[in-house]
Amino acid sequence: MALPEIVSRDEWRAARADLLVREKAATRARDALNAERRRLPMVEVEEEYVFEGGDGKATLLDLFEGRGQLVVYHFMFAPEWDAGCRSCSAFLDQIGHLAHLQARGTTFAVVSRAPYTKILPFKARMGWTVPWYSSYGGDFNHDFGATLEIDDEPAERPGISCFLRDRDRVFHTYSTYERGLDGLGSTTSFLDLTALGRQEEWEEPKGRASALGAPAGSVRIRYHDECEE
């Protein structure tokens, strides 16, 4: 077994200090990349998508639940499958309490092509409470790159799509797939994908921290049972 080299405590501290320099550089590079992501243009979603969820039929606007941003996880669950993807299930297992995203005006939802009659029992089996919708029979997954046509057959891939709402207008701001999901799962990792980011004053571009009419992001950190839904 190839284990790490054994060294003295002083040697470890020196090696750790060297690595810390590169870690801080990576953090600054990540902040710059996130800022470039927030500078991406957006496109208005004009299609009338219809989903099915726990409360019946829903539009894309309904998925926001009245908040300003929406993060959709494209969960691989094809109509002909009897259960959802194992890797997608492992991803969903790591999602934390949604109150912290919601406190920043951001809704998290899951969408799959499987009929809701298949999603519901699988969701219950897994013990998940996240909002999960079926796009069965619609073009949502195809239009946002989560379902591809390979040899004239639909093929699923996991992904994330982010949306921004301006009153009743919905805009698509970002999507990423497969390896682009590496490292995601925390509240801040999802916010970093959105057009408004973590809504902190230090973020670039300036002027978005209070775009949803609330104080900067860190001011809204609460115990999850104190967060407003």
Tens digits of per-residue pLDDT, 145-173?
A: 999 999 888 999 999 999 999 999 999 99
Report d(CA 3, CA 67) in Å as an integer.
48
Report d(CA 111, CA 130) in Å as an integer.
11
* DSSP-assigned letters across all residues of 102-166: HTTTEEEEEEESS-HHHHHHHHHHHT--S-EEE-TTSSHHHHTTSEEEETTEEEE--EEEEEEEE
Predicted TM-score (pTM) above 0.85 = yes
Taking phi first (over 0 means left), then psi (-120 to 50 degrees means alpha), and beta for anything else, what does residue 228 get? beta
Is residue 52's pLDDT more than 90? yes
pLDDT band at 229 (very low <50, low <70, confident <90, very high): low
Residue with tokens 């991406």: 40
| pLDDT tens-digit map of 57-114 | 999 999 999 999 999 999 999 999 999 999 999 999 999 889 999 999 999 999 999 9
Which pLDDT score is estimated for 225? 74
CB-based contact 226:135 (threshold 8 Å): no
* Rg value, the chain, Cα: 20
Q: Give mean pLDDT, residues 4-16.
A: 97
Is residue 20's pLDDT more than 90? yes
Which pLDDT score is estimated for 182? 94
